[in-house]
Amino acid sequence: MTTRGRITAILGPTNTGKTHHAITRMLGHRTGVIGLPLRLLAREVYDRIVAARGPSVVALVTGEERIVPDRVQYWVATTEAMPEIGADFVAIDEIQLCADPERGHVFTDRLLHMRGLHETLFLGSDTMRPAIAALVPDVQFVRRERLSTLSWAGSKKLSRMPARSAIVGFSVDDVYAMAELIRRQKGGCAVVMGALSPRTRNAQVEMYQAGEVDYLVATDAIGMGLNLDIRHVAFSATHKFDGRRVRPLFPHEMGQIAGRAGRHTESGTFGVTGEAQIPDEGLIEALENHRFAPISRLMWRNRALEFGTMDRLVQSLEAAPGHEWLSRGREADDLAALKILRDLPEIRDRVQGGKDVRLLWDVCRVPDFRGISAMEHATLLARIFGFLQEGTIPAEWLDRAVKRIDRLHGDIDAISKRLAYIRTWTYVAQRTGWVQDEKHWRAETRAVEDRLSDALHAALTQRFVDRRTSVLLRRLKQKESLVAEVNDKGEVTVEGEFAGRLEGFRFRPDQTGSVDEAKMLNRASYEALRPEFHLRADRFYNAPDTEMDFTEQGGLMWGNQAVGKLVKGADALHPGVEAFVDEEAGTEIADKVRRRLQHFIDRKVAALFEPLLTMSRDETLTGLARGFAFRLVENVGVLPRDGVASEVKELDQDARAALRKHGVRFGQFTIFLPALLKPAPTRLRLVLWSLAEGLDEFPESPPPGLVTIPNIPGVPEGYYTLSGYRPAGERAIRIDMLERLADLLRGQDTRGGFEANPDMLSITGMTLEQFSGLMQGLGYSAEKAERPKVKAAEAAPVAPQPEGEASDAPLTEEESVLAAETRARWEAEQAEKRRAEAEANADAGETVEAAPEELETYYTFRWAPKPRGPRHPRGEVRRDGGAPRGRQPRDEAADGQPRDGRDGQRRPQGKPARGRDGDQAQGGRGDGQRHERKGKPGGPKSGGKPGGQGPKTFSSRPEKKADPDSPFAILAALKDRK
């Protein structure tokens, strides 16, 4: 061991600026070499020296990176890669790593043999003082004291960790788990591990140093030379796996890590978090005062190697030290790989002399970056050794290996593995003479590592940093006003970061984070949204009613945004409203929205139920008429007649006339206001009725324009009546069309039996088979029979199609009636013609060969009331859909003779049929009303609303999965088909 120049050991606690002092001293010499424990730190020191002297005189040499300009003056290297040259200055940082079980022998070798021509510096912990004094003669010791204090802060939860904290873990899984938790609770953190590339580590550190995140989660790699703005260090564990076993951290290791808290003259604190045990008081005091037991043993490995044979090389590597301070270290990876290769027959055959042994040893020193298994690593080394014996590693083989790694997709683990794999080829490319085009492969492997490093940084940031939350928290801490924007889609951005959606007057935060994160984000967003709530409330209050609508589930919409819902009020026609306004928006906004919604629904009810409301306010209605008007208002304009038969019977003609002035029609089955059977009043009537009945799920209104709809079991009592339909068998028929059918039935012999005529089928839009089911539902019997069918001589005429319409377009009500009348006249003419031809043939004595008879089906209908059963509650619809129980229909007396519609009076045969209340029927309608044409109130509509533009339906209730067997689902499907 030869001493050259002055040797100084600068020892002391961490954060004393020892590395900075070494850089300054080196730049004071013409040439120098500095060895650092991590390539991360080596890159940082290299950048600092380049900034001071320029890149042309500074070299960087690590296992995976080699930058050597032509006029090198200063060498920055990892301790293992330090060049053994005659430099004026030599410095070795973190010299206490001489005691490290794995790498200690390298640091001990540098301690014993690396010297500067003029000056040598050893930098590290004060625990190395006795060992250095014993092994290095004439050394001068300089103790550098910490400029700030380090104090114990106790145990803290991660959720209560102060800003600018570093949380230390000792496994990748622990680091990732803590980083994920901090992202959810604090907005994000930077991640620093020794396995990261310098480029990734620098990007993460820069993000932390710039204040984009306030937390750092790292392994014990931060304990070696990384100078960061850390105020608090928290240990998540006090044990680590050192490659062989799980052991407690040595006190000096904890001191090295904890000492990173504080910077220059700024004090710092340390503590524990998670499941880490609180250290005893003696250890805490030692950490605070930087007093630790001195290191008594240094790891050592023989540097005088013999390359005669593989066995002699192994023996020289395993030689025992000759000094009491030195001890053989743990078997290193290179020696383990050498032993595996020595036992392989193919390697023994190829190694013929000292040159081959030296080459094999160089190959064995390739680090096991992949960490798959010792045998896997040895297999790769054997392949490389075979190539090198024949010359160089083939470019094609190396290209395939690099291209397999050069993929940027995948998660953090996948990219990290590829980054570890490329380090192997980066190391290989740095070795002189191992590849043909060294410059190309060094640049290529470095480019792949840089791409993977950037991808890993992006993946780490995406997973462990919520930039949105970090920005908001930082602005709130700085007490700056936040700028919020809401686009036309309702997306809310705060300071350019997506925060959620504003739906009406409710803010829906982005739900990608945790509950704690959502609370914090809400607080920041509501602070910024307060002005937006006021502006939106003003726009809503002044918006026209045409921008608002109600849904069939009672929701209140502003455009396509739910802003409230209807609630049960004093009566059916006066519902209340509940506004959907966030509590944070304030009571003023909520009251304003509530008032506007109440105005809207009040005007909507007043417009759609104007005849009903006018009737309720008519003071000229007195006595029974006023009471009956109240019943109509109470049932929102539709009353089954069988529930109020006695009250109707008590109304005199004057009372009925007074009610008819308000549009009331007294039908045989239903008393109703025809104007309220339109789709819009029907839709609102069902909503109001559902509110009054307290239903959990509101039934939807039937599709507009249908004469009959399916009679589905299980729907709430009263639904069909309020929808404007009356159940009859398997179908329910619209009540206004039912009254028209009743007008036709009054002219039939219901006792002797009658057949359905085209008018009846046209009104209902049914086939004869379907019509029979409807009539049975109304209380008639249907006798089915067959008879010979009279063939037509030619095709029956059809009603002309309007120009421009498709031939399969559905007929309107008037068109279907016209077609039936035209067909009836044509059939009568054809029958008369055939009769005349038959008589003429008989007179001529002609014989006609009889053709096979073709039969047709027909039904004979007779009034067959069901036995009298228990009466239903007033105002409810009969479940069987039949005629009123306990009496005959008004078109037939007890003896089966037709009546004229007035109680107890027979209608003379041949007289025109009159309506229920004595009005002459016109065109099959009672109440003195004409046929209602297409597009007029009460008439059938073939296409629903004009242009198919109906009111949009949005539910203000939480969405539930529809039951496909629900009657409402069947009706909804029917509406969709329409």
Q: Per-residue pLDDT tens for 705-749?
A: 889 999 888 888 888 989 999 999 889 999 999 999 999 998 888
Q: In what order do the strands lie in the sheet with 484-486?
A: 484-486, 491-494, 497-503, 506-509
| pLDDT mean over 811-823 | 53
d(CA 551, CA 950): 11
d(CA 589, CA 532): 11
3-state secondary structure of 651: coil
pLDDT (0 to 100) of residue 912: 38
Q: How far is CA 143 from CA 89, 126, 259, 291, 294, in A?
A: 20, 8, 16, 13, 15
pLDDT (0 to 100) of residue 14: 74
Residue 292 has pLDDT above 80, yes or no: yes
Nearest Cα neighbor of 687 from 544, 559, 577, 547 is 577
Q: Please, what is the Cα angle at 892 between 890 and 898, to 5 degrees?
A: 115
Q: What percent of the chain has pLDDT over 70?
A: 79
3-state secondary structure of 918: coil
Nearest Cα neighbor of 764 from 742, 789, 792, 782 is 742
Residue 792 has pLDDT above 80, yes or no: no
Average of per-residue pLDDT values in the chain: 81
d(CA 686, CA 39): 76
Token representation of residue 316: 């020289």
pLDDT (0 to 100) of residue 342: 94
Nearest Cα neighbor of 885 from 869, 909, 861, 899 is 869
Q: What percent of the chain has pLDDT over 90?
A: 43
d(CA 265, CA 262): 8
Is residue 247 very low, low, confident or very high in pLDDT (cuts 50, 70, 90)?
Answer: confident
Q: How many residues belong to the chain?
A: 978
d(CA 528, CA 509): 13
Kindly report, residue by residue over 343-398, the tens digit of the pLDDT. Answer: 999 999 999 899 999 999 999 999 998 888 899 999 999 999 999 999 999 999 99
d(CA 548, CA 558): 5
Name the residue with higher pLDDT: 856 or 846: 856
d(CA 12, CA 21): 13
Is residue 975 very low, low, confident or very high in pLDDT (cuts 50, 70, 90)?
Answer: low
Name the residue with higher pLDDT: 814 or 616: 616
Q: Please, what is the Cα angle at 48 between 47 and 49, to 5 degrees?
A: 95
- CA dihedral of residues 130, 135, 137, 140 (deg, nearest 10): -40
Q: φ, ψ for residue 188 (rounded to 5)?
A: 140, 170
The DSSP H or E segment spanning 855 is strand 855-863
Is residue 545 very low, low, confident or very high in pLDDT (cuts 50, 70, 90)?
Answer: very high
pLDDT (0 to 100) of residue 843: 64
What's the 3-state SS for 758-819?
HHHHHHHCCCHHHHHHHHHHCCEEEEEEEEECCCCCCCCCCCCCCCCCCCCCCCCHHHHHHH
* Amino acid identity at 608: L
Spatial neighbors of 696 by CB under 8 A, at least 6 apart, are none
Token representation of residue 87: 């430099």
Lowest-confidence pick of 244-248, 279-283, 587-591, 834-838: 834-838
Nearest Cα neighbor of 676 from 710, 623, 639 is 639
Residue 2 has pLDDT above 60, yes or no: no
Residues 788, 855 contacting (CB under 8 angstroms): yes
Residues 254, 238 contacting (CB under 8 angstroms): yes
Is residue 159 very low, low, confident or very high in pLDDT (cuts 50, 70, 90)?
Answer: confident
d(CA 482, CA 283): 46
Token representation of residue 268: 């710092």
Residue 225 has pLDDT above 80, yes or no: no
| pLDDT mean over 169-186 | 87
pLDDT (0 to 100) of residue 973: 60
Residue 935 has pLDDT above 80, yes or no: no
Lowest-confidence pick of 626-640, 699-713, 873-887: 873-887
Q: Could you tell me where the DSSP H helices lie in 515-662? A: 515-541, 587-608, 610-616, 623-634, 645-650, 653-660
Distance of CA 598 to the CA centre of its chain: 34
Kindly report, residue by residue over 6-16, the tens digit of the pLDDT. Answer: 999 999 887 67
* Amino acid identity at 337: A
pLDDT (0 to 100) of residue 852: 62
d(CA 459, CA 480): 30
d(CA 191, CA 210): 14
Kindly report, residue by residue over 618-637, the tens digit of the pLDDT. Answer: 888 888 999 999 989 988 99
Token representation of residue 324: 């009491």
Residues 393, 387 contacting (CB under 8 angstroms): yes
pLDDT (0 to 100) of residue 1: 39
DSSP per residue over 673-705, as a string?
Answer: -GGGGSHHHHHHHHHHHHHHHT-SSPPPPPPTT
Q: φ, ψ for residue 863 (rounded to 5)?
A: -70, 120
Q: How many CB atoms lie within 10 A of CB 70?
A: 6
Residue 886 has pLDDT above 50, yes or no: no
Token representation of residue 749: 């012999």
Residues 113, 303 contacting (CB under 8 angstroms): yes
3-state secondary structure of 11: strand
Lowest-confidence pick of 82-96, 152-166, 700-714, 861-875: 861-875
d(CA 919, CA 651): 16
Is residue 309 very low, low, confident or very high in pLDDT (cuts 50, 70, 90)?
Answer: very high
pLDDT (0 to 100) of residue 949: 42
Q: What letter does residue 958 receive in the DSSP assignment?
A: P
pLDDT (0 to 100) of residue 800: 46
pLDDT (0 to 100) of residue 290: 85
* Amino acid identity at 618: D
3-state secondary structure of 978: coil
pLDDT (0 to 100) of residue 355: 93
Q: How far is CA 598 from CA 503, 556, 566, 668, in A?
A: 20, 10, 9, 38
Lowest-confidence pick of 82-96, 218-232, 418-432, 718-732: 218-232
Pairing mode, strands 246-248 and 239-241? antiparallel
3-state secondary structure of 453: helix
d(CA 364, CA 379): 11
* Amino acid identity at 567: V
Is residue 519 very low, low, confident or very high in pLDDT (cuts 50, 70, 90)?
Answer: low
Is residue 63 very low, low, confident or very high in pLDDT (cuts 50, 70, 90)?
Answer: confident
Name the residue with higher pLDDT: 971 or 492: 492
Token representation of residue 532: 């937006």
Q: How many CB atoms lie within 10 A of CB 272?
A: 21
Is residue 222 very low, low, confident or very high in pLDDT (cuts 50, 70, 90)?
Answer: confident
